[in-house]
Chain A
Amino acid sequence: MKVEPRSPQIDWLFLGFLAAIVAAGISTVHSATWKPGGDGTSAIALRQGLWTTVGVVVMLFVAAVDPRRIERSAYAVYGVVLGLLILVPVVGFIGGGSRRWIDVGFFALQPSELMKIALVLAVARYLQADEPLAGLRFRDLGVPFLLFGAPAVLILVQPDLGTTVLLGLVFASVLLMAGLRLRSVGLAVSVAGFAAFWAGELVWSQLKPYQQRRILTFLDPEADPLGAGYHVIQSKIAVGSGMVWGKGYLEGTQNQLRFLPEQHTDFIFSVFAEEWGVVGCLLLLTLYAGLILRGLQIASRSNDRFGAIVAFGILATIFWQMAINVAMAVGLMPVVGITLPFFSYGGSSMVTLFLGVGLVLNVSVRRFLFLKPGRR
């Protein structure tokens, strides 16, 4: 029996939300890096535009790939990215206090970014078998925990506490969505906590003093008023001074006078908030909410479990990244170096996110359903 091939369904609403966010992002990056009296668009904003274009191409490509191939190559992709992560302490270079990048000639590859996607793929692949009616039990989680634990440790020692936490949140979200029983959640959390503590002790003793110091600063930025604590204060001032309507595009004084450190990356939201006020911020939050919720709809309409879990995992990544970054910018969380998705400046981040979105689109663009011919 053959099922009618459906025409490709491109979800325009989803893409619309995305486009709005990206556009706002590029213009905010321009504002954050533009020099008054300088000529035209800032170089960094142009580069962000370039990476966006690359990202869109990647997105379209991934959306058109046969989903079976994605599913089949899930473990392989995970293996490659894990390999790259292992390479980082060997050949990687240091920037901004941690070693996260591998130099590939004309750009810097950040394996921890790729791992966000790879982990989702691998876990989805593992969990795609039909879930038992009663839901997944804790004991079924052995392999997924390993899949998560290995890269988590490697990323933690870079050191990159932020990405590790993000990975954990995404992992937990995917598990919950995939049907983990609620009572198993409690068990999972306690085991994870214990394992994290034990692994943390082990890893801590291996770290050099300056690395330990950096992690301590991550955990308690107030201890270093000249570092992260200062960032948060300046960020709150920037955000708060936006008031209701904001100061206007390119008029943000905190940003123009360069008080906001890392203003085109970690604190890009503060730049936006200063210029567009609470009205602009709530609008932006709505756009993100729209993107995620629409994406959830796509995921729920998926015909196969693998695609659904992958789409969900990607959306979880986007959501948690956004939430953590904004929380950081408004002083609800310590500074952990998570960037705002589709907004903050960053080539590898942009391309990776678009790759993820491509996977979500892949689910919505399902074209053919067919079965082995001849069977009844």
Chain B
Amino acid sequence: MNGDPVLEIDEGWWGWIRSKIPPPGLRRRLLAIGALILVVEAGLGVRLWQLQVLRGEHYRELADHNRVRLRRLIPSRGLAFDRFGRVLVENRPSFDVVMVPEDARRPASVLAQLEELVDTDLPDARKSVALRGSRSPFEPVVLARDVERETLVQVETHRLELPGVSVHVGPRRSYLYGEELAHVLGYLGEVSPTDLRDREGYRMRDTIGRYGLEKQWEDWLRGSAGGQQVEVDAIGRELRVLHEVSSTPGANVFLTIDVDLQRAAFRALEGREGAIVAIDPRSGAIRALVSRPAFDPNRFSGGISQKEWSALVEDPLRPISDRALQGQYPPGSVFKIVTAAAALEEGVVTPFTKIFCGGRIKFGRRYFHCWRRAGHGWVDLHDAIVGSCDVYFYQVSQRLGVDTIADFARRFGFGSETGLAIDHENGGVVPDTGWKRRNFGEPWYPGETLSIAIGQGYITATPVQVASMMATVAGGGVRRRPYLVDRIETADGAVVRPSQFEEQSVGLRSSTLTQLQLALRDVVNAERGTGRNGRLENVEVAGKTGTSQTVRLRKDDAEPGEVPRAQRDHAWFAAYAPADDPEIAVAVLVEHAGGGGGAIAAPIARKVLERYFAIPPRSSGDEG
């Protein structure tokens, strides 16, 4: 370092030359800094000596076979329970035989040995082993999934002859009610590249909910993964766990569904395509949600084959689609409840106003028919509902106009999703003048209002919406949001997401409500009622039938058997019971029934109600 002094030079504005005399401490400081540098470097050097010379052999050994492996601990997925705590889906252990080719050294021959041992050919395994180029090193290849106990025993006892081969226990999702709860619970699938990109905590080949509850509540059900650092020996067997972070199990979901009722409803719809929805009108809790045809979600648990998946997707009866929530159908005569409510509220008729039904009316240049060719004669509102007179409602609709009807329809929940927390709901269509203009560019023609009044034409609804409407009437004119999930609990029972209710009054006068309720009661119980097939012996049922046409202006004279399936009417029946203090509301839809609501749908609803009232409420389930 230079210590010679130089002339002191004027500072001033140009004088940026500073004195060259080092400040007193500088030399000392620089020496200290130099020493610090050497000390730090020496420290690093010592550490290097320790790792590379003193423990070099040990690390060389670990490196040679990468003896320290990472193992991920998959969290146990949350379960689902029904309202009485009966388990609906669980995780059962599945044993997979895996191989780490690097440990096996000659993977092909080890595989051959395995095949001989278990006396089976494993062509898929051979393929996987051959294709192992694109894997991470030391990642296991699955040879056989979900093997039988005997295979398991064979592999375990012959471990020494099968280097690199081991048995891996994994969870497999088991749906205890199979098809019966398929659309509600959903199924699992493998994560997609999009999921991997957008969501945290997933690795390749993890499972993720793909449909239904499994998908909607994935974040709750999944839990979080843990991990282990494991030291293994030369053939890949675990020696010891060096470090572990445990996984957090997923939370359990408690549904409002009553699985006994669900099963009864599913069986009641046997041989048919359609949906059944049962709601408790006091709260909005869904007690049963059935869609047929269905599929077996257990087929997805091990990974579904391409062939099977294609078969499901291409099936013309669309088993994957959830008719209860997604199916949009013209509601037919069950919609008359809305029209009637609108008529009374708006005062266009009184309960005593009589209108004559002769079997048809003329509007413009067309005739609009009543389903009863002979007509109903003079009918008031009560009679019109009981007999499901179309003409009465045609007349009423002209006095109301489509926009008013649409308004009441929306108040009852039609036209938009109910907000049920399942991912795949549709909202149906409630047309009005604005809607027609937006979608067709045409004005609304008054003749179309007549169709709307009886639930035909552009208007469509889902079975859950119809059930919800019925529950609203049963529940005193208060619309309660239907919900499926009662609460979510962690593995140790702490409630993390309690029930969430939502309700809103439809705004009906109590006199209107009473009129409706009395009429609905007589639909089922009076002699002329169209819903007599829904009648129960010891419980009074109230309800409404509906038959919605799929094709306009087809021949009414044709016999049901002669009409092609796609042209057959849908059959509806919506009901609640007991009529004076309702506990349950049910909607049944039978697609392309080949018969009316009263004939086809009502008996199905009756079976469901029978089951409901045969079981007294209890707090825990012990029969499946």
A282 to B72, CA, bound (A): 37
B64 an interface residue at 8 Å Cβ cutoff? yes
A297 adjacent to B1 (CB under 8 Å): yes
Q: Could you mark each residue 235-255 of chain A with 1 if its beta carbon is under 8 Å from any beta carbon of chain B, else 0? A: 011111111100000000110
Given known contacts A229-B243, A243-B53, A258-B137, A303 and B20 CB-to-CB distance under 8 angstroms: yes
Q: What would 8 A/B residue contacts be, using CB atoms closer than 8 Å?
A: A224-B227, A225-B227, A238-B63, A241-B56, A278-B53, A289-B41, A292-B37, A300-B22
Residue of B nearest to A279 (CB): B52
The answer to whether B56 and A230 touch across the interface, beta carbons within 8 angstroms, is: no
B17, A303: Cβ atoms closer than 8 Å: yes
Which of B5-13, B252-260, B504-512 lies at the binding interface?
B5-13
Q: Is the CB of B51 within 8 A of A301?
A: no
> Inside 8 A of B137's CB, which chain A residues have their CB?
257-259
- How does the 8 Å CB contact mask read for B14-40 relative to A, with 1 for contact and 0 for none? 111111101111100110011001101
B53-A330 in contact (CB<8A)? no
Interface of A is mostly: helix
Contact A179–B243 (Cβ < 8 Å) = no
Extra 13 A-B pairs, beta carbons < 8 Å, given A177-B29, A372-B12: A135-B25, A225-B243, A226-B227, A234-B68, A240-B56, A240-B60, A244-B56, A257-B137, A278-B53, A289-B37, A300-B30, A330-B47, A371-B17
- A369 near B17 with CB under 8 A, answer yes
Q: Nearest Cβ in chain A — how far from B336, in angstroms?
A: 53
> Roughly how many angstroms separate A281 CA and B13 CA in the complex, as a whole number?
50
Q: How far is the CB of B549 from the nearest CB of chain A, in Å?
A: 55
Cβ contact within 8 Å between B41 and A225? no
Using Cβ atoms and an 8 Å threshold, which residues of chain A touch B399? none
CB of B95 to closest CB in A, whole Å: 24
**Known interface pairs A225-B245, A296-B33, A300-B30. Does A330 touch B66 (Cβ–Cβ under 8 Å)?**
no
Of all chain A residues, the one with the shortest Cβ separation from B67 is A237
| Residues in A neighbouring B136, C-beta threshold 8 A | 258
B18 contacts which of A130, A257, A258 (Cβ < 8 Å)?
A: A130
Residue B378 CB within 8 A of the other chain: no
* A221 smallest CB distance to B (angstroms): 11
What distance in Å separates the Cβ of B126 from its nearest Cβ neighbour in chain A? Answer: 24
Number of interface residues of B (CB under 8 A): 60
Q: Which 4 A-B pairs rank lowest in CB-CB distance, beginning with the nearest?
A: A240-B59, A243-B56, A241-B63, A372-B14
Would you call B62 an interface residue if the criterion is a C-beta within 8 Å of the partner chain's C-beta atoms?
yes
Cβ contacts A292-319/B at 8 Å (1 or 0 each): 1100110011011100000000000001
How far apart sit A281 and B56, CA to CA, in the bound complex (Å)?
A: 14
Are B10 and A371 in touch, CB under 8 angstroms?
yes
In the complex, chain A residues whose CB is within 8 Å of the CB of B57: 243
What is the interface of chain B, defined by CB distance below 8 A to chain A? 1-2, 7, 9-10, 12-20, 22-26, 29-30, 33-34, 37-38, 40-41, 43-45, 47-49, 51-53, 55-60, 62-64, 66, 68, 70, 72, 136-137, 200, 225, 227-229, 242-245
Range, interface on chain A? 35 or more
Q: What 1/0 mask marks residues of chain A from 194 to 237 whose CB sits below 8 Å from any chain B CB?
A: 00000000000000001000000000001111100110011011
A residues in contact (CB < 8 Å) with B: 1, 68, 71, 128, 130-131, 133, 135, 173, 176-177, 179, 210, 222-226, 229-230, 233-234, 236-244, 253-254, 257-259, 273-274, 277-278, 281-282, 285, 288-289, 292-293, 296-297, 300-301, 303-305, 319, 323, 326-327, 330-332, 369, 371-372, 375
Q: Which chain A residues lie closer than 8 Å to B10 at the CB level? A: 371-372, 375
- Could you tell me if A301 and B2 are in contact, using CB atoms closer than 8 angstroms? yes
A235 to chain B, nearest CB (A): 10
For A319, give its contact among B2, B29, B37, B45 (CB under 8 Å). B37
Nearest neighbor of B228 in chain A, beta-carbon distance: A225
Q: Which residues of A have CB within 8 Å of B2? A: 300-301
- Among candidates B9, B19, B52, B225, residue contacting A273 with C-beta atoms closer than 8 Å: B52
Return A47 CB to nearest CB of chain B, in Å: 25
Are A304's CB and B18's CB within 8 A?
yes
B residues in contact with A253, CB < 8 Å: 63-64
Contact B44 A239 (CB under 8 A): no
| B59-A239 in contact (CB<8A) | yes
Question: Is the CB–CB distance between B56 and A242 below 8 Å?
Answer: yes
- Please give the distance in Å from A15's CB to the nearest CB on chain B: 19
- Do the beta carbons of A237 and B59 come within 8 Å of each other? yes
Contact indicator A226/B15 (Cβ below 8 Å): no
Contact (Cβ within 8 A) A285 B41: yes
Q: Are B48 and A131 in contact, CB atoms less than 8 angstroms apart?
A: no
> In the complex, what residues of B have CB within 8 A of residue A131's CB?
23
Contact between B63 and A281, CB atoms less than 8 A apart: no
Report whether A278 and B228 are in contact in the complex, using a CB–CB cutoff of 8 Å: no
Cα(A282)–Cα(B44), bound, Å: 9
Contact of B229 among A230, A243, A281 (CB under 8 A): A230
A292 to B1, CA, bound (A): 15
Contact check, B243 vs A241: say whether CB atoms are below 8 A apart. Answer: no
Once the chains bind, are A225 and B244 in contact (CB under 8 Å)? yes
Q: With A and B bound together, what is the CA distance between A257 and B64 in angstroms?
A: 11
B59 adjacent to A241 (CB under 8 Å): yes
Distance, CA A10 to CA B368, complexed state (A): 104
Q: Tell me, in angstroms, the Cα distance from A60 to B7 when the chains sit together.
A: 32
